[in-house]
Structures are given as C-alpha cells and as structure tokens.
Amino acid sequence: MDKKKTTKEKLISLLFVALFSIVAFIALFPVISLIVASLSPASDLMRYGLTSELFYSSFDFQNFEALFGSEGSKYWQWYFNSLVISGLLIILSLFFSSMVGYALAMYDFKGKRLIFVSVLLILMIPFEILMLPLFQMMMSFNLIDSYFGVMLPLIVAPIAVFFFRQYALGLPKELMEAARVDGCTEFGIFFKVMAPLMLPSFAAMAILQGLTSWNNFLWPLLVLRSNDMFTLPVGLATLLTPYGNNYQVLFSGSVLSIIPIIILFLFFQRFFIEGLTSGGVKG
C-alpha cells in the first residue's frame, strides 16, 4: 500500500463520508425531531405540526410535567406493565430457548431432525395466521387481559432456539465428556459448564427478545382489554385517536419509552452486532 494517499483516494474518502453523513442524518432526524417535539409547547405542535424550523415559541418541560403530574394518566402503569412483561420474557425465553437449542446441537437422539424442522416451520409460518385460534384459546383459558396471556406465545422463541443451536454447534464436546467423568449431571453440564461458554449468545438474545417484547404490538392489542393492563405501545396507540391526538403526553411518553431499550442495547451492543451476524445467516 502506498504511504501517501493519492488525491483521488482522498476525494473518494470524502465522498463516502459525505454520503454516510446524509444516511446518518436521515436515520437520526426522526429521533431528534421527537426529542425536540417533546420539549416544545403542545399548542404550537397542534397549530403548525412539526416544522423544519425546530424552534418553537419556547422550550420547556411542560409535556413531561403533564406526564408526571396528571391524575388520570395511566402512563406509568403502562411503563410498569411493559417492564414486567419484557423482563420476565427475557428471562424465561432465554432459559427455555437456550436449553432447546443446546440439546439440538450437542446430543444425538431420536426425533432430533423432526424437532429442528419444526423450529424452522414455525419460523416460516406467520404468527398472524394463528392469532385468531390463539385468541380463542386465551379466552377459554381466561387469560385475556393478563400478563401471562401476552407472554405465552413468546416464551419459547424459535428464532432464539435456532440462534442458540448455531452458537452451541461451535462448542467443544470434549468438555461434556470431561464433566461426565467428574460425575456431573447432564443438567449440571449445561448450567455450570456450557451455558457460561454461551454467554455472548445470551447477551445477543437478551437484546433481541427484549426488543421484540418491548415493541410487540398486535398480540398485546388483541389480548389486553383494560387501560390498567396496557403495555406501552398499546397504551401510546390509544393516544393516537381519530378525534385528535394527545400530543402532550404522546411525545414525552414516546421519548421516555425508548430509554430502557437504549440502555439494554448499549449494555449488550458489542455482542448484539456480533450475534446478529454470526447466528442468523448460514445459508
């Protein structure tokens, strides 16, 4: 490689950075607008909409005050519901899906192929086709308007099973033998020896499952009935009504709703980008 970059290369480099500055601007603009809107007087937004000026008559925290202060608002209840449901789902789906994926990768047993094909089958068939019978089922189990009803379809996540299997395929099987010789149970081998080796995949799936359940919309919209039980997306959607939008709470509420997922992402980011790209795409 030449030590000095040629003028042509410098120009190309500049062109690339310019192109991506535009791409990054388009990616970030809506998010920035949201933050600006949440700090702008709702009456201005009502009158002018979101304008390109981004400067309104004043900047203040009135919208957030409305969110914290108003009596009848269920926002914090929705927030709590979302946190509980997503938290539980991350724990449960990681626990169950990792066991299944691990077994599919590390053991030879009758029916293994059939189970793996079933995993792929669920991945291929859209949930939306099953949602009406599932909804009926939830009604007969009395699970409508309950946390468990929202969580049930996501507890064993086929995408996570698939991912954990791909990851576990790369683990050394000799460790299992060594642990067996030491008198470890098969479950001990998984929980004490192999699961710690799979930590990066757990981190990646924690983000994916967290993201999925935090932003899940259609199924909770079906299952949840009372204002008190809504998750954030369902609750926020009720503020978008044909009879006028409740911008004050909508914008400040939307800004705060992104925070947990950003924290989760920043926390596990490194693993996520690795994970997303190593697991999913093997032809």
Partner 1 sequence: MQSSVPTEKRTKTSQGKQNRFRFLYSKKLAPYVFVSPFILSFLILFLYPFISAVNMSFQQVLPGQVNYIGMANYSRVFNPTFYTALQNTTIYVILTVVILTVLPLIFAIVLNHRLMKFTNFFRASIFIPALTSVIVAGTIFRMIFGDSDSSVANQFLQFIGLNPVEWRYNAWSAMFLMVTLASWRWIGVNILYFLAALQNVNHDLYEAADIDGANTWQKFKHVTFPAIKPVVIFLTTITTINGFRMFEESFVFFETSSPGNIGLTVVGYIYQEGIQRNDMGFGAAVGIVLLGVIFVVSVIQLFATGAFKKGDA
Residues of span 64-93 touching partner 1 by CB under 8 A: none
Interface with partner 1 (CB under 8 A), residue from 69, 140, 187, 244: 187
Determine if 139 is a binding residue for partner 1 (CB under 8 A). Answer: no
- Nearest residue (CB) to partner 1, 69 versus 242: 242
Please answer whether residues 104 and 115 qualify as being in contact, where contact means their C-beta atoms are separated by less than 8 angstroms: yes
Interface with partner 1 (CB under 8 A), residue from 68, 118, 192, 228: 118
- Nearest residue (CB) to partner 1, 70 versus 269: 269
Please answer whether residues 272 and 210 qualify as being in contact, where contact means their C-beta atoms are separated by less than 8 angstroms: no
Shortest gap between Cβ of 170 and partner 1 (angstroms)?
A: 15
Q: Give the interface size with partner 1 as a residue count (CB under 8 A).
A: 92
Determine if 19 is a binding residue for partner 1 (CB under 8 A). Answer: yes
DSSP 185: -
Helix (H) or strand (E) holding 245: strand 244-245
The residue with tokens 């998750």 is 231
Distance, CA of 24 to CA of 37 (rounded, Å) = 20
Distance, CA of 145 to CA of 140 (rounded, Å) = 12
Interface with partner 1 (CB under 8 A), residue from 50, 66, 171, 193: 50
Determine if 22 is a binding residue for partner 1 (CB under 8 A). Answer: no
Report how far apart, in Å, the C-alpha atoms of 227 and of each of 172, 212, 233, 238 are: 50, 22, 12, 9
Interface with partner 1 (CB under 8 A), residue from 96, 146, 147, 200: 96
**Based on the number of CB atoms within 10 Å of its own CB, is 83 exposed (0-12), middle (13-18) or buried (19 or more)?**
middle
Determine if 240 is a binding residue for partner 1 (CB under 8 A). Answer: yes
- Nearest residue (CB) to partner 1, 71 versus 128: 128
Determine if 196 is a binding residue for partner 1 (CB under 8 A). Answer: no
- Nearest residue (CB) to partner 1, 71 versus 225: 225
The residue with tokens 């519901």 is 81
The residue with tokens 């899906």 is 97
Determine if 102 is a binding residue for partner 1 (CB under 8 A). Answer: yes
Determine if 33 is a binding residue for partner 1 (CB under 8 A). Answer: yes
Question: Alpha carbon 137 to chain centroid distance?
Answer: 26
Shortest gap between Cβ of 61 and partner 1 (angstroms)?
A: 19
Amino acid sitting at position 22? I
